[in-house]
Amino acid sequence: MNRQSSPRRPVSRESAAPRGEAEEARRAQLIEVTIDSLAEVGYVGSTLAQIARRADVSPGLVAHYFGDKDALLEAVFRTLARRIDERVRERLRLTRTPRGRVQAVIDANLAPEEFDRRTGTAWLAFWGQVLHVEGLKRVQTVYQRRMLSNLRHALATLLPAEESRSLASMIAAMIDGVWLRAALSQWREADSESARAMLTAFVDSRLIQGAGGAEPRGATPGTALAAAQARGAGVRTLISTNPATGEVLAEIEVDGPREIAAAVAQARAAQPAWARLTGAERGRILRRAAELLRARNAELAELETRDTGKPIQETRAVDVLSGADCLEYYGGLAAGLAGEHVDLGPQAFGYTRREPLGVVAGIGAWNYPLQIACWKSAPALACGNAMIFKPAELTPLTAVRLGEILREAGLPPGVFQVVQGFADTGRALTAHPGIRKVSLTGEVGTGKAVLADAAATLKHVTLELGGKSPLIVFEDAHLDNAVAGALLGNFYSAGEVCSNGTRVFVHRSVKDAFVQRLLARVRAMRIGDPLDPATQVGALISREHLEKVLGYIARGKAEGARLLVGGERVTSGDLANGWFVAPTVFDECHDGMAIVREEIFGPVMSVLEFADEREVVERANATDFGLAAGVFTNDLTRAHRVIAALEAGTCWINHYNVTPIELPFGGVKLSGLGRENGRAAIEHYTQLKSVYVAMGDVESPY
């Protein structure tokens, strides 16, 4: 038995009097620090004294809040278990089918957060101590009982009583087993997506078997599936909600391998005729679609705002119109697509044909749903491909509207199709042999998974992935412009922008002035109802994402960064049901801090001080990411010298985050492969055919 596991404090934590906000914040901070400690030095190394040191408080203060080490760890594991529980409840609230309820439990327990190295290692410490510490055992029992009860309840309407109980136990065991194996293999054996896909396939197969059992003997598997679907067993749905209010916007059936196969067959049938049109004819349809998008800007912007939680002042100005610009641009380029003529002397010449790839897939992220759908489909279609597009599960709505608009503009049926679903739908697209290319916008981990899956059928791949980009402000910069750039590069779309310049390096001689002007403008920003045209900061996409962002803020504080503004969830008035976080600025940051190293994808800016050019370039490049970078300076030669030295695919001098369709966009290093936008995208949606044409006789030695 571990020395630290007894005796227990007599006071029950549940019966404690309500705590004040400051106390809650301190408790939350100590819990985060303890998770860090468990992740780094394990259970035995995490003593009260060590945790106090990390949190920069006295051991007495930790003891004041938690009593002893066991009580502190119990609080930590209650927090971790509560997070899963909240996630489960959130998902259960959003689903209406029994099958969806089962999926809710799987998805919440195997969410990406649970595969995060830090949380995962803390959980492992917990599992290791459960048998020895009474309080931990209780947390574990409650957690397990709840999972089983949710599963049994959901399965009870789908299967006979005995079978539903046994399947619930199997699912619970698999959830824990898959997670544990992944954790013990240091996350090499499975990630969140593959773990969820495995459980999903298992549950589907068991439910179909169960439904088949009820069929007359000799029924075909197809009939069993139909029966299962009729009972709601095989039908998975996803629910789109408004992140600002929690309002349910739509429930959508998820497409699986069957639907993907049907979509690919339809696309393959439609694509050759589309490719045989002249570029001018294809371009005309795209330009017509651009006009329709513009004409429906108000209506589509509102839909995008409801689906994403972004302020209407952004979606009206950017999301729909930038999609229209993209369709117009590639509509214009389509007529000019050409190969080249190659002079091979008097006896021959050569030429190249720029041909479409065939059927291609687009897989989108949730931050710019309509824009991403346009950025992928417009060049693909201009080049004569057919595209099957999967929007992110959290934002499924506007891609469907784009499909309707393209059809209205004259696009033949089957040339652009939208499929809906989770990661396994994306995987089914990537795996399908009839698809010649995948273009993904998403996280680095997803990019690696897509690249690995695409290898089996040697698909072309474009990857637009994450970043942690530097924005450098030199001492001679126009300071107000630099502040404006930093605001655009951190707080637009509540910070949910891949190219954000979240590492703001400011020369030490102007840092105080920079921070002063920055704070004045951040404090004036309006957080509120995204549909209110005056609102500048809307909601984050989901509760999970909110927790991730708040977790980083807590880590920033725990690691010693100085919080200048923001740093909390906003729940006042009508915002209580949404996922709002105040724009947050940390000062006195160091390069090693998690908030400086990792992509947060929320409204969190880190200000870092530097002294000279060589130093700042080195520090800016000291990251595995390489999506974007910005430089503010009035020294012309320095601007170009520094940009040339920065390892980033998309750069700005004296501006930040403007992405005109004419300029290629994309990353280097772990931020991606290939480019979107500009003429460069044409290279990624076509293949060259080289043709040698003889003008004389064929000489042969035979």
Among 324, 449, 515, 537, binds ligand NDP (CB under 6 A): 449
The verdict on 446 binding ligand NDP (CB under 6 A) reads yes
Contact between residue 570 and residue 591 where contact means Cβ atoms under 8 Å apart: no
Is 363 a binder of ligand NDP (CB under 6 A)? yes
d(CA 524, CA 376): 36
Terminal-residue alpha carbon distance, the chain: 88
Tokens, residue 118: 């830090």
Alpha carbon separation from 368 to 305, 315, 362, 380, 678 (Å, rounded): 10, 9, 14, 18, 18
Return the structure tokens found at 263.
Answer: 């979509």
Picking from 536, 242, 256, the residue whose alpha carbon sits closest to that of residue 397 is: 242
Amino acid identity of residue 401, one-letter, is R
Return the CA Rg of the chain: 27
Residues 467-476 as b/e (b if ≥16 CB within 10 A, e otherwise) read bbbbbbbbee
Query: Nearer to ligand NDP by C-beta: 366 or 656?
Result: 366
Interacting residues of 317 by C-beta distance below 8 A, sequence separation 6+: none
Kindly identify the residues of this chain, within the stretch 498-537, that bind ligand NDP according to CB under 6 A: 498
Q: Would you tell me how many other CB atoms lie within 10 Å of the CB of residue 91?
A: 21
Among 390, 401, 460, 557, binds ligand NDP (CB under 6 A): 390
Are 359 and 334 within 8 A, CB to CB?
Answer: no
Of the candidate residues 291, 443, 475, 591, the single one contacting ligand NDP (CB under 6 A): 443
**Applying CB under 6 A, does 465 fall inside the site for ligand NDP?**
yes
Question: Rounded to whole angstroms, how far apart are CA atoms 484 and 490?
Answer: 10
How many residues appear in the chain?
702
Q: Which of 365, 540, 604, 620 binds ligand NDP (CB under 6 A)?
A: 365
Decide whether 301 or 440 has the Cβ nearer to ligand NDP.
Answer: 440
Least distance between ligand NDP and beta carbon 681 (Å): 12
Q: Please report how close the Cβ of residue 421 comes to ligand NDP at its closest, in angstroms.
A: 6
Of 622, 604, 598, 625, give the one whose Cα is nearest residue 116. 598
Q: Quick check: is 599 catalytic?
A: no
- Partners of 342 in the β-ladder: 350
- Min CB(425)–ligand NDP separation in Å: 7
Active site residue 326: no
Q: Report how far residue 212's alpha carbon sits from residue 346's, in angstroms, rounded to the nearest whole number.
A: 72
Determine which residue in the list 32, 70, 74, 193 makes contact with ligand NDP, applying CB under 6 A: 193
Site string for ligand NDP, 419-438 (x = CB under 6 A): ---xx--xx--x--------
Closer to ligand NDP by Cβ: residue 450 or 575: 450
Least distance CB 88 / ligand NDP (angstroms): 17
Shortest distance, CB of residue 446 to ligand NDP, whole angstroms?
Answer: 3
User: Cα–Cα distance between 175 and 70 in angstroms, integer?
Assistant: 26
Q: Does 466 bind ligand NDP (CB under 6 A)?
A: yes
| Least distance to ligand NDP, CB of residue 422, Å | 4
Site string for ligand NDP, 560-599 (x = CB under 6 A): ---------------------------------------x
Regarding 367 and contact with ligand NDP (CB under 6 A), the answer is yes
Contact positions with ligand NDP (CB under 6 A) in 597-616: 599, 601
Q: Which of residues 619-658 bind ligand NDP (CB under 6 A)?
A: 627
H-type alpha helices, 383-422: 397-408
CB atoms within 10 A of CB 17: 5
Size of the site for ligand NDP (CB under 6 A): 31
Q: Which of 326, 383, 498, 589 is catalytic?
A: 498
- List the x/- string, 141-180, binding to ligand NDP by CB under 6 A: ----------------------------------------
DSSP character string of 616-644: HHHHHH-SS--SEEEEE-S-HHHHHHHHH
Choosing from 464, 529, 559, 587, the residue that interacts with ligand NDP (CB under 6 A) is 464
Q: Is 495 in the site for ligand NDP (CB under 6 A)?
A: no
Residue in the shown chain whose Cβ atom is closest to ligand NDP: 426
659-698 positions binding ligand NDP, by CB under 6 A: 667, 672
User: What contacts 116, CB < 8 A, 6 or more positions away?
Assistant: none
Of 139 and 418, which has the nearer Cβ to ligand NDP?
418
Q: Looking at 208-216, 228-236, 359-367, 518-526, which segment touches ligand NDP (CB under 6 A)? A: 359-367
Q: Which residues contact 608 (CB under 8 A, 6 or more apart)?
A: 503, 504, 505, 506, 589, 590, 591, 596, 619
Active site residue 464: yes
376 belongs to the catalytic site: yes
| φ, ψ at 103 (rounded to 5°) | -65, -35
CB 221 within 8 A of CB 212: yes
The catalytic site residues sit at 376, 464, 498, 676
Q: Which residues bind ligand NDP (CB under 6 A)?
A: 193, 363-367, 390, 392-393, 422-423, 426-427, 430, 440-443, 446, 449-450, 464-467, 498, 599, 601, 627, 667, 672
